[in-house]
Amino acid sequence: MPRYKLLIEYHGGPYQGWMKLPGVPTVQAALEEAAAKLDGAPVDVIGAGRTDSGVHATGQVAHMDLLQDRPDKVADAMNFHLRPHLIAVLKAEIVSEDFHARFSAAARHYRYVIINRRADLTLERGLAWRVPSKLDAAAMHAAAQRLLGKHDFTTFRDTACQAASPVKTLDRLDVARFGDRIEITCSAQSFLHRQVRSMVGSLVEVGRGFQRPDWISEILAAADRTACGPVAPSDGLYLERVDYPPAP
């Protein structure tokens, strides 16, 4: 039975996150329903990242095993059965049977989008976090660099997180301004539950001038969830890319 690797884009607004849950719409459930229509039997679709309710993706990766050996047709067929969901399969390819979308991943890359203006959002409503007070992106970037490396990220870990350890290695956390738009890009092999949104919310406290950049080091060292700043909303977060080691 061929194993397919899927590259997926979705608008997270209508969904209660990636992971299938009873009685609510989720991305995984929609994909599995579409795949079952292709195969005529239940299909498990395993994602690289379990994005939260409202979080978007431009480069989510998943795998599934299908009876059909038609890689040239699978993406189009999935998209046909996914309509009218705000989910699209951008690419489908056959991979080795030992490929696992989650456990084979070498790095995950997220982007968080802030629109820093007083006017309400129109075209980007639901796709970014509007912060009306002026933000100092340079101070936010300076603070962000204090989080790089291997640390106990308990402060930025949701209380419902099921990870075995709060220790993670953060490879990249950059803050850049483009006019009214501020983008925060972060990379790591894996993240804790709501880690990115927790870090962004605390960085915004620095950007507003409510806290010094050194405050980020202090709350990280505290390893105390109650020390974290407000958690940023889900609207602005995107799973942008997942990297895998080259095939042997």
Average pLDDT over residues 115-129: 97
Dist CA 71 CA 77 (whole Å): 10
Q: Which residues lie across from 167 on neighbouring strands?
A: 152
Dist CA 25 CA 162 (whole Å): 22
- What are the start and end residues of each CATH 3.30.70.660 domain in the chain? 107-243
- What are the start and end residues of each CATH 3.30.70.580 domain in the chain? 3-95
Average pLDDT over residues 153-179: 96
Band (54; pLDDT cuts 50, 70, 90): very high
Average pLDDT over residues 85-111: 97
pLDDT of 78 higher than 80? yes
Q: Which two tokens stand for residue 135?
A: 């933000």
pLDDT of 104 higher than 80? yes
Dist CA 97 CA 144 (whole Å): 39
Active-site residue (options: 39, 44, 52, 72): 52
Residue spans of beta strands (DSSP E) within 139-193: 149-152, 167-178, 181-188
Band (60; pLDDT cuts 50, 70, 90): very high
Count CA atoms closer than 13 A to 78's CA, side-chain side: 33
Q: Which residues does 64 contact at the CB level (< 8 Å), separation at least 6?
A: 3, 4, 6, 31, 35, 43, 44, 45, 46
Q: Which residues lie across from 60 on neighbouring strands?
A: 8
Domain covering 107-243, topology = Alpha-Beta Plaits (3.30.70)
Band (183; pLDDT cuts 50, 70, 90): very high
Domain covering 3-95, topology = Alpha-Beta Plaits (3.30.70)
What's the DSSP call for residue 41? S
Residue showing tokens 């950049």:
213
pLDDT of 152 higher than 80? yes
- 65 labelled catalytic: no
Query: Which of 8-17, 30-39, 64-73 is least confident?
Result: 64-73
Among 243, 242, 240, 183, residue whose Cα is nearest residue 56: 240
- Give pLDDT, residue 105: 97
- Give pLDDT, residue 84: 96
Q: C-alpha distances in angstroms, 59 versus 10, 37, 40, 108?
A: 9, 24, 27, 10
Q: How far is CA 132 from the centre of its chain?
A: 24
